Amino acid sequence: MNDRLNYYQDIATLQLAPLWESLHTLVPKEPAPAVQPHFWHYDTLRPHLMRAGSLITAAEAVRRVLVLENPALTGKASITQSLYAGLQLIMPGEIAPSHRHTQSALRFIVEGSTAWTAVNGERTQMHPGDFIITPSWTFHDHGNRIEAEGGVPVVWLDGLDIPMLRFFDAGFAENYPEAEQPLTRAEGDSFARYGANMLPLEYDASYRSTSPIFNYPYARTREALETLRRNGPVDDWHGVKMRYVNPATGGWAMPTIGTFMQLLPAGFKGKPYRNTDGTVVSVVEGRGTAIVTRGDRTWRFPFGPRDHFVLPSWHTVRFEAEDDVVLFSFSDRPVQQALGIHREQRLEA
């Protein structure tokens, strides 16, 4: 044994290591994620978010965000190994200054209807339940207009592939010279061009594999879910679950982040399942419970509107709905599917 230890010490000086000492952890029989399930109750965290609004301006912060950090990844600004999530606040009259970065971003509106975002010269209004995309390397800024009654704070969930790009050492960023970029296209232009099951004759895929639509309104999404619920059938594991798509390709709306919306009818008691894509969930409507298990541990997350939680890879999950529940979620599934490594296992009990 001493000869072996001496050998290990000798090769370590040459930056060498014996694979046989770590093979079982490098190539496990099944995923053993360090990421933990966790739940953020919106009514508990909201006062802290509003307090940030009185301590630092959007201009000073650039992005006034409270990061949703996974307990197992403290200090890494990560909610899963590959994804970042945070809640961003913008107060009436503020501008979050324009910049761009190689990280792809999504905004899912949680509270307030007086804000806008601008992406590459086009502005769109934000409403609760809207799913909005900021494609990689596109200038974007946000603002919250002051209404006659003074306006209200607006909060949205940010989801980015920051940890993924950090893994690849592929992150770049650039500030725009002014707080707001000039508007060069009328509001609604993108949806008019690409959102009616048609494409301009000379469509040039300006954002490569990212959807040319950057605002998916909740009203349309909710209508589609309701129609499918009425027409049936309702899936025993996921209820009525749909994914957002790029209308030009039929593929994912974003190349690195998969986005979903699902409806769980009142009284739904879902069967358990597990996926390899760790998932971030934002509750849009209704109350219910997410039950998460791994080994002999069980987490129960009773949830309501605006709550958030994370479901790590290869943890068994099932949902119960007290009334009609609508959930928005995102994960790294597009990357896993592109690599051919995604797995889902549907269980009966």
pLDDT digits (tens, 9 = 90+) for 104-146: 999 999 999 999 999 999 999 999 999 999 999 999 999 998 8
Burial 70-86 (b: 16+ CB within 10 A, else e): bebbeeebbbbbbbbbb
Name the residue among 167, 345, 180, 174 with its Cα closest to residue 271: 345
Asked if residue 23 belongs to a domain, the reply is: no
In order of 67, 104, 122, 174, 180, the CA distances from 177 in angstroms are 26, 21, 17, 9, 9
Q: Whole-angstrom Cα distance, residue 104 to residue 42?
A: 25
Burial 121-148 (b: 16+ CB within 10 A, else e): ebbbbbbbbbbbbbbbbbbbbbbbeeee
The answer to whether the beta carbons of residues 179 and 98 sit under 8 Å apart is yes
Asked if residue 18 belongs to a domain, the reply is: no
Asked if residue 111 belongs to a domain, the reply is: yes
pLDDT at 149: 64
Distance of CA 153 to the CA centre of its chain: 21
Name the token pair of 125: 């209004």
Burial 17-35 (b: 16+ CB within 10 A, else e): eeeeeeeeeeeeeeeeeeb
Alpha carbons within 13 angstroms on the beta-carbon side of residue 127 total: 9
Sequence-separated contacts (24+) of 341-345 with Cβ below 8 Å: 341/276, 342/275, 342/276, 342/277, 343/275, 343/276, 344/273, 344/274, 344/275, 344/276, 345/273, 345/274, 345/275
Asked if residue 19 belongs to a domain, the reply is: no
Asked if residue 149 belongs to a domain, the reply is: yes
pLDDT at 214: 94
Helices (H), the chain: 2-12, 23-26, 42-55, 58-61, 162-168, 189-194, 218-231, 333-339
Tell the burial category of 330 from Cβ atoms under 10 Å away from its Cβ (0-12, 13-18, 19+).
buried
Number of Cβ within 10 Å of residue 6's Cβ equals 10
Asked if residue 8 belongs to a domain, the reply is: no
Residue 204: CATH number of its domain: 2.60.120.10
- Do the strands 288-294 and 344-346 form a parallel or antiparallel pair, or are they unpaired? unpaired
Asked if residue 210 belongs to a domain, the reply is: yes
Confidence (pTM): 0.96
Amino acid (1-letter code) at residue 43: D
Domain that holds residue 324: 30-346
Tell the burial category of 47 from Cβ atoms under 10 Å away from its Cβ (0-12, 13-18, 19+).
exposed
pLDDT at 148: 57
Helices (H), 195-341: 218-231, 333-339
Total number of residues shown for the chain: 349
* Residue 305, C-beta contacts closer than 8 angstroms, at least 6 positions apart: 42, 283, 284, 285, 286, 287
The answer to whether the beta carbons of residues 180 and 143 sit under 8 Å apart is yes
pLDDT at 208: 84
Ranges of residues in the chain with a pLDDT under 70 are: 148-150
Instruction: Give φ, ψ of 98 to 5 degrees.
Output: -75, 135
Number of domains in the chain: 1
